[in-house]
């Protein structure tokens, strides 16, 4: 089916959508009795599981829980991928689709980031997690604000959603290897603390870049709107 160019501009650019196996799964889901809104809500479910896993890890630090937490992040990202593909490529878009597309992300992101705080070792770990979660929501708010002001959706990083989730996933895997191998120096137990600091600083920079883009875009549009008036012939 033909895609709406405006709709495409407001979607996060993901090369994985064009992978053959991804398209086959999306087509299969489209034929089932499942809606894109239900898939979107499932991402909250995986976030709650991920949070519960890491809360358990806080009291019972079993290394396999780190792998499970990493898996819930990837399942959440798959929900984010397939809800849009089923809605648009699958032709099952609903009038309230934008709400289901965005609101679950604003819940899942903080849950995953705060959950990562349970894997930190320093006294600054949990404050870093909470602050990073707030900044993550702020970056998304600025993107949505820009769209409401007439600018194209700005998904730039360096700490957009996929970057944040990739950072957490890799750090969980690294901590798992550190625990089961035992050959890494003890300083590496602070890996999640470092990851959250990177996320926080990157999120602040990402927010600034998106705000700058909105400002520059609106200023450029204002200049272009004024130019035709200047070119009008004098009587």
Q: Distance (Å, rounded) from C-alpha 1 to C-alpha 190?
A: 49
Give domain status of residue 123, yes or no.
Answer: yes
Give domain status of residue 23, yes or no.
Answer: yes
pLDDT cut 70: percent of the chain above it: 89
pLDDT cut 90: percent of the chain above it: 62
Give domain status of residue 227, yes or no.
Answer: no
Give the contacts of 27 (CB within 8 A, at least 6 positions apart): 89, 90
Give domain status of residue 233, yes or no.
Answer: no
Q: What is the mean pLDDT of residues 141-158?
A: 92
Q: What is the mean pLDDT of residues 20-28?
A: 79
Nearest to 110 by CA among 83, 84, 138: 138
pLDDT at 233: 54
Give domain status of residue 106, yes or no.
Answer: yes
Give domain status of residue 103, yes or no.
Answer: yes
pLDDT at 2: 43
Give domain status of residue 74, yes or no.
Answer: yes
Q: What is the mean pLDDT of residues 72-76?
A: 97
Q: Distance (Å, rounded) from C-alpha 105 to C-alpha 74?
A: 14
Give domain status of residue 230, yes or no.
Answer: no
Q: Bigger pLDDT: 13 or 80? A: 80
Domain that holds residue 136: 5-220
pLDDT at 232: 52
> Residue 28's domain is classified under what CATH number?
1.20.120.1760
Q: Is the pLDDT of residue 158 over 60?
A: yes
Band of residue 30 on the pLDDT scale cut at 50, 70, 90 = confident
Domain count, the chain: 1
Q: Mean pLDDT across the chain, nearest whole number? A: 88
Q: What is the mean pLDDT of residues 110-128?
A: 97
């Amino acid at each position: 089916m033909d895609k709406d160019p405006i709709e495409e501009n407001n979607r996060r650019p993901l090369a994985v959508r064009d992978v053959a196996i991804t398209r086959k799964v999306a087509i299969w889901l489209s034929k089932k009795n499942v809606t894109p809104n239900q898939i979107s809500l499932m991402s909250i479910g995986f976030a709650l599981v991920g949070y519960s896993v890491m809360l358990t890890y806080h009291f019972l630090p079993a290394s396999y829980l780190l792998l499970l937490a990493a898996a819930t992040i990837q399942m959440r990202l798959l929900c984010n991928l397939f809800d849009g593909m089923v809605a648009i490529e699958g032709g099952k878009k609903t009038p309230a689709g934008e709400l289901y597309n965005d609101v679950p992300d604003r819940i899942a992101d903080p849950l995953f980031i705060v959950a990562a705080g349970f894997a930190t070792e320093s006294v600054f770990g949990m404050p870093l997690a909470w602050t990073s979660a707030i900044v993550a929501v702020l970056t998304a708010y600025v993107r949505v604000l820009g769209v409401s002001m007439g600018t194209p959706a700005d998904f730039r990083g360096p700490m957009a959603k996929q970057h944040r989730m990739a950072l957490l996933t890799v750090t969980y895997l690294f901590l798992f290897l550190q625990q089961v191998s035992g050959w890494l120096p003890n300083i590496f137990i602070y890996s999640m603390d470092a990851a959250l600091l990177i996320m926080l600083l990157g999120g602040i920079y990402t927010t600034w870049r998106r705000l700058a883009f909105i400002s520059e875009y609106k200023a450029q549009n204002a200049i272009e709107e004024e130019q035709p008036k200047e070119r009008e012939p004098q009587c």
